[in-house]
Amino acid sequence: MPKARPRTLTPAEIIERLDALYGIPPWRPHGDAMTELVLTLLSQNTSDRNSGRAFARLLERYPTWDEVLAASTAEIQDAIAIGGLAPTKAPRLKALVAEVAARRRGFDLSNLEELPLDEAKAWLRELPGVGPKTAACVLLFALGRPALPVDTHVYRVARRLGLIPPKMPADQAHAALEAQLTPEQMYPFHIALIKHGRRLCDAQRPRCEACPLLEGCPEGQIRVAGRGAPLGDGAPA
């Protein structure tokens, strides 16, 4: 008789078990919303280390957003070259800064604190280069609002745990996962799944035998039984 599918763990259980393993630091803002917006754009497809260096160089050369706005795309590209993908990111950054300046007559994004959450997300997503993950990063990390960024780690671990269907596209996973979390769980859940994806639930070789979530993980159960890797490497669709 086939083994019953394991019980899906609740978000509270997942957070508690991963907190015990890794420790989840309390929420602290990285900076204001404009800073977070630019940092997140620079971090797209780049390590945190490299995007942090690119951000530092950008601010070294252009200490204010007005100065970034006045710089040419070629100058911005030169400033952020250390972070990689500068030819792609420089025009995006230039367009983003210009659009914020035009819509806000400056760079104060405190409007996002007061808008209903869906409107704040929509406002951000109308900016060039801003998708659901970047919008959620700004709202969660800079403003402490209950939005869930779904990066490659969160997406992979959530699929393996059966919290979202295997074929659900990453951009739909934001709403599907947010609906399962309380506002207070957004930040610790995000941090817990990122840490887990980086340390134990690796894309290629998850260490399921050592995982505190194995009991409730359909993918892990299949892997430890030696029946393959049902979701492959878990890369975003």
Separation CA 83–CA 89 (nearest Å):
10
89 vs 160, which CB is nearer to ligand SF4? 160
**Which residue number has the CB closest to ligand SF4?**
220
Distance of CA 174 to the CA centre of its chain: 10
* Contact track, ligand SF4, 200-219, x by CB under 6 A: xx----xxx--x-xx--x-x
Coil/strand/helix, residue 111: helix
36 vs 219, which CB is nearer to ligand SF4? 219
**Cα–Cα nearest to 160, from 212, 220, 225:** 220
One of 89, 94, 121, 133 is an active-site residue; which one?
Answer: 133
Active site residue 133: yes
Q: Is the dihedral of CA 1, 167, 220, 186 positive or negative?
A: negative
Tell me the Cα Rg of the chain.
19
* Shortest distance (Å) from residue 124 CB to ligand SF4: 30
* Contact track, ligand SF4, 123-162, x by CB under 6 A: ----------------------------------x--xx-
Q: Read off the amino acid at residue 30.
A: H
* Residues of this chain, 60-99, that bind ligand SF4 according to CB under 6 A: none
Instruction: Output the CA torsion 135→163→23→225 (10° steps).
Output: -140
* Residues of this chain, 166-205, that bind ligand SF4 according to CB under 6 A: 200-201
Task: Note the residues at the interface with ligand SF4 (CB under 6 A).
Answer: 157, 160-161, 200-201, 206-208, 211, 213-214, 217, 219-220
Catalytic residues: 133
